[in-house]
Structure 1
Amino acid sequence: MALNSSRPVLSSVCTALRQCRPASQPLLRQAAARPLSTTSARLSEEAVEDERPRWSYTPERMKGPNMSIRVVKDPRRKIWKVNEDPALLDAMYNRFLGPHGDKMLPDEIKWLAITHKSFDYARRGFNTRLAYYGRQILALESTRSILISSFPPSNVPDKYSREPFRSPALEMVDKLNTKQPRDIIYKEKMAGLAMEIGLNQVVRWKPGKPENLEGSGQTVVLTTCLYAIIGAIGLQHGAEVAHKVARERILNRIANMKGL
């Protein structure tokens, strides 16, 4: 009896569901086809940004409120313009790396290698990690140049009159007693080379004192950019090409520089 009494209730429920189903499906399709207004606006902004090169703008989502807790004593120090001309940047790479040197790196990497973390609050990327890798390449190449150099190794006398162990395989290593890589690639020489190739005209950074670039750390910034370019070439073309560029385009040139 209980089973028979429940059948009319079940059939009425199924009938109601069949009547509601056709009306609900168009509503669901209509809701799915109509995106939220904020989402569509955000997608349109991102589409406009994607048309521009990444180095040329700051992403909207990385921009904060137009305010700063830092109080600048002299408002003129806030004003500092950097290069935005790709032709000027390519000319610097050609002077540094030789003909067609601007073709050795992709456009984004060319701009990243000369961008210091002080520029645009580091929101467009910066060259610190590239510079670390490039510095290791230059240190290794400088060490190699010392080992194969022609000057004799130093014979430091032992105050206890001991006879040191000697081996042909270690004769070149003794040259490091008189000269170190830091004696070859110190920052003053590196910055001088950077000035010669016009790197100071295209580097992207924000000096703390625009009226005193040297006091703001220009020497360190230019040296970091040279390291970063070598690091970028090493990642793009491999260690052999990077060591050749470091040897021919940096070490050989700073060895012939006078006054430093």
Structure 2
Amino acid sequence: MASKRPFQSLFSTAACPLRPAQSSRQTLVRTSACPFSTSTVPSSTQEYEAEEPSKPRWQQTPPRMMAPFRVRPLPRGPVFKVNEDPRKLDDAYNRMLGQGGDKMLTEEVKWLAVTHKSFDHGRRGFNDRLAFLGKRIVSLQTSQALLSSPQPDQWPRDDQNRPLPDKFGRVPFMHSALSGLPGLTNDAEARVLDKTRLAGLAERYGFNHVTRWKPKRTDDLQSSGQDSVLTTSLYAVIGALALERGGEIANKVVQQRILAPLGFNFDDSASSTL
């Protein structure tokens, strides 16, 4: 029978190098726990938490989001200055929403609705989420307006207002409830809500002077995407009204202040003045 002594000696010699490793691991745990001990020195996070903001969020960059120095060089070209005057912003809201329109939203939301994500690297908040909601509301009201309005492309009819047959002798089914069906296509809605038309409407209300953004080229705002930025601000105002004033007010604003200037007619009884 083979002796067990060689195996015992093997295990004893193999276990020897492991013993100091275990003891060193315990010492590392003890030393690593030392820096986490309580200390009377205040940390930097406590200093930031103790600071009370002297200005609102829309007026200054949060201190904890500011870098100690600038990494990129300053862009070439003239400096693009954004609006900081609350009176000019209130004037734009009064033009769009009517008298007292500057009182329909809170001060923070009024600035947030006209702040693009390119401004100050988005550190003061931006209007993407408000614009997403506002675009859905404007799209719904546009579809309803197209559905109830006469369409330019209608099936040819004879003198007695009966549909004429096509070259194969077929006569389509015609009904008054289906007259606005061609207006539900994506092309019809895209023609109405073209960003060039909406940007011109935003300029009429004065949002081109109060929207806060950073163009790629300060000497050429059009190629930097000004139409898209102004359209986003217009949608964001509708989204902010829906959240703070309700969907009924937002729908009336879309009908009277956006779709009506674009050529749609609405019943006065269905939508009263703001």
Question: Do they superpose with TM above 0.5?
Answer: yes
Shift in Å, 1:184: 1.4
Task: Tell me, yes or no, if structure 1 residue 202 matches structure 2 residue 237.
Answer: no
The AA in structure 1 aligned to 2:107 is D
CA deviation profile, 1:145-175 (whole Å, cap 9, x unmatched)? 1111145762287675555455554333244
CA distance in 2, matches of 1:177, 1:40: 57
Change (3 A) 1:152 1:116: closer
- Corresponding position of 1:55: 58
User: Which residue in 2 is equivalent to 1:5?
Assistant: none
Deviations 1:177-215 (A, max 9, x none): 697122212111111111111111111000010000101
Matching residue's letter, 1:55? W
Residue pairs, 1:220-239, within 5 angstroms: 220-239=228-247
Hey, what's the Cα distance between the residues in 1 that align with 2:185 and 2:115? Answer: 36
Gaps of 5+ in 1: 1-31
Show the counterpart of 2:16. Answer: none
Give the gaps of 5 or more residues in structure 2.
1-37, 157-164, 265-274
Percentage identity across aligned positions? 45
In structure 2, the CA distance between the partners of 1:52 and 1:182, relative to structure 1 (3 Å rule), is same
CA distance in structure 2 between the aligned counterparts of 1:198 and 1:82, rounded to whole angstroms = 13
Displacement after TM superposition at 1:234 (Å):
1.2
Number of matched pairs: 219
Contact 1:153 1:171 in 2 (8 A): no
Superposed CA RMSD in Å reads: 2.8
C-alpha contact 1:154 1:178 (8 A) present in aligned 2: no
Residue 48 of structure 2 corresponds to residue 42 of structure 1: yes
**TM score, norm. by length of structure 1:** 0.74
Greater shift, 178-187 or 123-132, is seen at 178-187
Is 1:203–1:222's contact at 8 Å kept on the other side of the alignment?
A: yes
Is 1:192 aligned to residue 200 of structure 2? yes
In the superposition, relative to structure 1, how do residues 202 and 35 fare at CA in structure 2: closer, same or farther (>3 Å)?
farther
Residues 44 and 76 (structure 1 numbering): CA distance in 2 closer, same or farther, change over 3 Å? farther
Deviation at 1:64, TM superposition (A): 2.5
CA distance in 1, matches of 2:230, 2:40: 49
Using the alignment, how far apart are the partners of 1:41 and 1:177 within structure 2?
57
What residue is the counterpart of 1:242 in the other structure?
250
The 3-state SS of whatever aligns with 1:199 is coil
- Helix, strand or coil: the match of 1:253? coil
Larger helix proportion of the pair:
1
TM-score (norm 2): 0.71
